[in-house]
Structure 1
């Protein structure tokens, strides 16, 4: 619902033309889009979270919301709603971090794709643990096929942030593995070890942000941007 609510705000702010391709860049920045100079120079780290609730047009949000409905249902059923939320936000955060750390320095980024790829990664981890079961094995093959297809799409279309997809996918797979515990033992021990794993992912993300900020090119005028 938050994604849809933000899309309505995008239309109100950017006008009817925003429906097809999203608001202009300056409007997206005002709403919280990911923009590396704003993070590295302006220290607006919250953009690593807010960007995942913005979308560049109706097709973008429609595809992401369909995927969220599909994988959200599967992940909530597999892990429960608390872990679903944890996997979603950690994957979205790491997807944004990967885009910020390794992507172009002047590219605006929006979308929930990193978080959604994280759900797909968690589904891979869940079924890999159970791969001796025929249904889980089939689910695993299906998920890997989707990853392969999306990799081909990312290679063939400009504007797809494959770094955010990859970061979210890896983070989600790790979080999905952590969700069922890292060490054998009672349920409490397994849950605690899983939480330790999630915290480690967040710490890794913070470390990548710190590295990118420290190595970001010092060029006057990158932030704030000037729009003609």
Structure 2
């Protein structure tokens, strides 16, 4: 019986992802990482009220002094599709912008 081959294929895919990630400019990579980590924190620790508590609400910022919303809303994503599409769009544009402005 032959062993299942496929680890090489997975390894090459993981190597390609690793190269892509480390080729991102520093600030872009940092923001990307913060978004993914924040999404994982919400997934692992957040309950049903976690997402609404992180989203931007000018009324709640002003009237209830929930100033964390000014920052957390930048990194909060509702689901994996929202995160993936935003990170795809972000990394597509941010690298060029960072190169233009410097990091």
Higher relative contact order (CA 8 A, sep 6+): 2
**1:63-212 to 2 correspondences below 5 Å:** 63-81=85-103
Deviation per residue, 1:147-206 (Å, 9 max, x gap): xxxxxxxxxxxxxxxxxxxxxxxxxxxxxxxxxxxxxxxxxxxxxxxxxxxxxxxxxxxx
Shift of 1:80: 0.8
Shift of 1:35: 2.4
| Structure 2 residue aligned with 1:11 | 43
Unaligned runs of 5+ in 1: 15-22, 82-228
Distance in 1 (CA, whole Å) between partners of 2:72 and 2:43 is 17
> What root-mean-square deviation, in Å, do the aligned CA atoms of Structure 1 and Structure 2 show?
1.7
Aligned residues of 1:29 and 1:35 also touching (Cα < 8 A): no
Distance in 2 (CA, whole Å) between partners of 1:41 and 1:48 is 14
Q: 2:50 aligns with which of 27, 48, 56?
A: 27
Q: What is the TM-score with the length of structure 2 in the denominator?
A: 0.60
| Structure 2 residue aligned with 1:55 | 77
| Structure 2 residue aligned with 1:40 | 62
